[in-house]
Structure 1
């Protein structure tokens, strides 16, 4: 829907674009306020069991965290509302704190069930996350009433918003935190500034977090799955630059840490390096699906390759390396990509997934990857990626025409491929440097899914060789525009570029100037 809104805006339909955005923002706000959001520890539970988005199934999945962090980052991109940057940090900080191994691999999930107390003989759904009113009183003292009003905490329990919330009375007398009132209105009612009110809430959540940490934890699935790590790599990489757009002096409250955004890039790179070390065979150029106490026997599936390549494209565009841009699993005769590589004789039927569900299909993600690669490389390589993308979409032509709502991401890919030329932003200068980081942040300061960001340091021999091999136009731009004392940016369409600029402000102005025309 964010992509659709951008297209509506570009086609001169601002009213429809605004209405589309309104629906997205409303959904994201309700999710952030609801019980699916772990207000005390950060991150999101798997789904809600009621129409109020209150009582969740308490399992936490990595694939949800990666996708949600990305969409909240995009919402901040578009709106500049720090609510969305706060929630994206909330998710990523939860992952950093609880879900990453010592070598950087990101774990898969936390169970919904846990023991109510040490030594309990059975586990209960949500036991780790729910509270009695008395517990809140005892822990928070003078601020308990403020907290309870904010999060709808009641002595009788609060799972009463819907007949679907607690049909079996499992949570009788218990409370699942949910925000039902506006923070500004509640602060005003208490005669406080909004910042003072939010500071108190943050202190309260930290106290509850410390108590909760002493409870028996849900089981941690510490398996590292390549595809889900790809989703998380994408969100961490994007956050490293997008969050540089937060206003100076932004205040953060628990569970958000408020770190320098560049730390998120370090997380992304560590996760990618973990996969390279433990799950990638450089001789065969193949992946294994997962890692737990060693690589699994299962080979990588389509989702593993597609999601990882997508994550590594983001890792590169937001400041990282150019590795891992391989195409795999192409069905040479029929087009599109199979879910499995076809090497296991026990797999009798190989299918081509064509449904975007809780995770997007590997073929939808592959289609977007191919579109992105088309505008990154040149010549026969670019033509090759375009032909593969067109072939893939042709395989699903009837699906796209008859049931487009089942493959929304593939619809976006089809539109992206139909655009005559994507926008490229090419940055030339020394890396790493503060000037380069600021220019890269400016290149990513506006939401534009049909934009490719390329960066090159002409003094880096390996980078120059990469671009001379894959797109000599980029190498030529680097040689012709390099200046030792500044970073230069060129905004191009099909590598036909406007005059270079050398300040983040000029680059942002150029990218936001919709009427500006390209000149060779």
Structure 2
């Protein structure tokens, strides 16, 4: 695995015929000869280092194309290419139809390494540009801005090759049907790879001589893909009961793939796929409740070991906080250095869950590490949370050369000169060597790109190293923290990686959820814990402020209140793209977390409205489940229904959880509707739940929750401004309990009483009849059949610490 290309596992498209039965007979040889770098974890030499475009460094430009009017950072990066780029839209389609030429479609994103490489090698090359301009209509798409476009043609690439990545390079007919596609192409034939110029010539020749055949093959390919996805959409006489073994099957498959040495699952390259760890934590808790303590402990150990190895590896930015995209080796050491927002949010939640489960502040500190990085570097003045930081940056202030990881790596001389007397401790702790430290795996640096350079890595834990140096753990941590602060300050003087300041609703949702949950969960840390840079050690209540500000930004800038509709992204202004399923599902989940952890009814009300709109726009009324897109754009040839929980969870998986959470908050028809919708959604994917659980870990957890009758509601009633109320809510969130719903009600707030009277009269009645001489009172319920109310914090903690069974309530 190399550069910015991201592997899409073949398991994503198990429902799609691979390869397609009949496509591209006239240029099939191009596909068979083509091998993209993502098919191998090896880095390629030299291509990682490339000159920055001169046009990006000067005030005047030799060329300016239509992309100069766009807002996307990725499109703007190509605004001065000699290629006559169009953005995706009718103007481009009409140009192709009028000229009678095929479309060249290039899809990438602003922090994609190999997208940068292909730009410099090909799109800034005047010979290549002339070929593209003469023979094709060229369209550039930001996959983060238009995931609907990307999904159609990435599906095609995956069906053709079994995997895919970015940049995605596709040739389309003027009717937008695919003719051929791949990913990164070098400009010339080299290293056994067909060159981009060769491909352009062959496609042009084939179009001129065999256009009718090509167009028919492209239409057939889309038809076959449509049929495959229609099979998922149709309710295929599924049984009335979901397979209840999917959770166990998925956990067993993950255990088989578990790396006992370095943690994580599978072999290099290693991605931190948080949904896998989420499932294992959930399964461990379930085993514990079933009195299988030994099995539970073994499963928990897999999660803890993996989280520890990840955080100690180079995939974690020890100096600045946060996590890089993935590691090219099996030991989490040498990363692809870009930082993606969706990784940060999910990882925070997994580390928070591990802390709640184990009470080990190692995990809470890593959660803080990520959150504090986001607060410092990734949030705008209005609360908007940015998308990503690039992997590449200039090596020196005046350099025109960019190199992956230049911002993050160190020579031993730099460490010694900067840290002085503390350098020896720091070098020992982070495995820093004169020859460079990327030598732990043959996969780490196969072409000596990091020779003499060091990527910080902890090979031993702090307790061991402190003992080795004859220090207390606190003193040792203090020295390391001071060193990291000094290095951070020095690093700030380096040219920074490009910041993609686009705001994506779905990714913001993942991070808003993390900030909201942290605001209460981290209040349970030991008061004597000492924080060291890059952890700030702020009051966790500040994290809820971040969540609320980000949610408010979305509501004010990316939400049409009259139509109750979301836009997908924002930069300078809202994007042209509508909100997609993930935008609704991830934001709804975040709003539910904001309510359960913060208690403001306005967030719950908005979640309910968004869920209604999601059902209206995306629900398949014939077969059940949610489509990815609203289906209103005729240029999107495939309307798909995803369930794969990959680098991001699928919209259907998150929606299943949302529906189950909402069903547990209400009673009567509303509760029934949410639960029945969740059940129908899961039944659509029943075959996957039986046969391919490894692809859908989050959906497996949702199916288990649906099949369980033990979901609990905890209702806290009282004065929300009172200390006692806050302490009770904190206690409710203190322990890892994924199968609970928390409802907060203030009897003095007429708006809340009216809301609950309309949606769940039982809650309203609890609030009205709660003792008035108490600041807070808690009810622990099962389907709103409740135990006697608890008014003492100590008693509440005692009750919550029990492993509750339905019959005990």
Q: TM-score, normalised by structure 1?
A: 0.98
**Structure 1 residue aligned with 2:275:** none
Within 2, Cα distance between the matches of 1:183 and 1:419?
41
Contact kept? 2:409, 2:453, Cα under 8 Å: yes
**Structure 2 residue aligned with 1:279:** 558
Distance 1:516 1:9, change over 3 A: closer
SS at match of 2:355: helix
Query: Is residue 757 of structure 2 the alignment partner of residue 478 of structure 1?
Result: no
Gaps of 5+ in 1: none
Query: Is residue 565 of structure 2 the alignment partner of residue 268 of structure 1?
Result: no
Q: CA deviation at 1:515?
A: 5.4
Q: CA deviation at 1:516?
A: 7.5
Within 2, Cα distance between the matches of 1:436 and 1:417?
31
**Which has the greater radius of gyration?**
2
How large is the Cα RMSD of the aligned pairs?
1.2
Within 2, Cα distance between the matches of 1:40 and 1:123?
21
Gaps of 5+ in 2: 1-279
Matches within 5 A, 1:37-436: 37-321=316-600, 322-325=604-607, 326-327=610-611, 328=614, 329-436=618-725
Q: CA deviation at 1:217?
A: 0.4
Within 2, Cα distance between the matches of 1:323 and 1:175?
50
Within 2, Cα distance between the matches of 1:310 and 1:495?
22
Q: CA deviation at 1:232?
A: 0.3
SS at match of 2:366: helix
Q: CA deviation at 1:166?
A: 0.9
Q: CA deviation at 1:518?
A: 6.6
**Structure 1 residue aligned with 2:136:** none
SS at match of 1:510: helix
Q: CA deviation at 1:330?
A: 1.6
Distance 1:275 1:515, change over 3 A: closer
Contact kept? 1:497, 1:519, Cα under 8 Å: no
Distance 1:279 1:208, change over 3 A: same
Within 2, Cα distance between the matches of 1:435 and 1:333?
50
Q: CA deviation at 1:483?
A: 2.1
Q: CA deviation at 1:185?
A: 2.1
Within 2, Cα distance between the matches of 1:485 and 1:423?
23
Structure 1 residues 356-383: Cα deviation after superposition (integer angstroms, max 9, x where no partner): 1111110011001111111011110000
Within 1, Cα distance between the matches of 2:646 and 2:635?
26
Q: CA deviation at 1:70?
A: 0.3
Q: CA deviation at 1:182?
A: 2.6
Q: CA deviation at 1:343?
A: 1.1
- 2:756 maps to which of 454, 464, 467: 467
Is the deviation greater in 433-442 or in 320-329? Answer: 320-329
SS at match of 1:452: strand
Structure 1 residues 36-69: Cα deviation after superposition (integer angstroms, max 9, x where no partner): 0000000000000001110000000000000000
Within 2, Cα distance between the matches of 1:486 and 1:366?
35
Within 1, Cα distance between the matches of 2:773 and 2:594?
25
Distance 1:519 1:460, change over 3 A: farther
Within 1, Cα distance between the matches of 2:537 and 2:550?
21
SS at match of 1:336: coil
Within 2, Cα distance between the matches of 1:465 and 1:258?
39
SS at match of 1:312: helix
Q: CA deviation at 1:489?
A: 0.4
Within 1, Cα distance between the matches of 2:367 and 2:301?
19
Q: CA deviation at 1:11?
A: 1.4
SS at match of 1:87: helix
**Structure 1 residue aligned with 2:738:** 449
Contact kept? 2:599, 2:745, Cα under 8 Å: no
Contact kept? 1:107, 1:225, Cα under 8 Å: yes
Contact kept? 1:225, 1:290, Cα under 8 Å: yes
Structure 1 residues 453-496: Cα deviation after superposition (integer angstroms, max 9, x where no partner): 00000111111111111111100111011425420001000111
Is the deviation greater in 465-474 or in 75-84? Answer: 465-474
Q: CA deviation at 1:293?
A: 0.4
Distance 1:187 1:181, change over 3 A: same
Is the deviation greater in 142-151 or in 353-362? Answer: 353-362
SS at match of 1:123: strand
Q: CA deviation at 1:431?
A: 1.4
SS at match of 2:715: strand
Is the deviation greater in 5-14 or in 35-44? Answer: 5-14
Q: CA deviation at 1:150?
A: 0.0
Within 2, Cα distance between the matches of 1:405 and 1:148?
40
Structure 1 residues 238-297: Cα deviation after superposition (integer angstroms, max 9, x where no partner): 100000110112100000000001000000111110100000111111100000001001
Distance 1:152 1:428, change over 3 A: same
Q: TM-score, normalised by structure 2?
A: 0.63
Within 2, Cα distance between the matches of 1:519 and 1:419?
15
SS at match of 2:605: coil
SS at match of 1:323: helix
Within 1, Cα distance between the matches of 2:727 and 2:807?
24
Within 2, Cα distance between the matches of 1:61 and 1:323?
30
Structure 1 residues 179-210: Cα deviation after superposition (integer angstroms, max 9, x where no partner): 00232222122221111000000000000000
Distance 1:220 1:103, change over 3 A: same
Is the deviation greater in 472-481 or in 186-195? Answer: 186-195
Within 2, Cα distance between the matches of 1:18 and 1:423?
24
Within 1, Cα distance between the matches of 2:538 and 2:722?
19
Distance 1:343 1:517, change over 3 A: closer
Within 1, Cα distance between the matches of 2:338 and 2:414?
23
Within 1, Cα distance between the matches of 2:576 and 2:727?
43
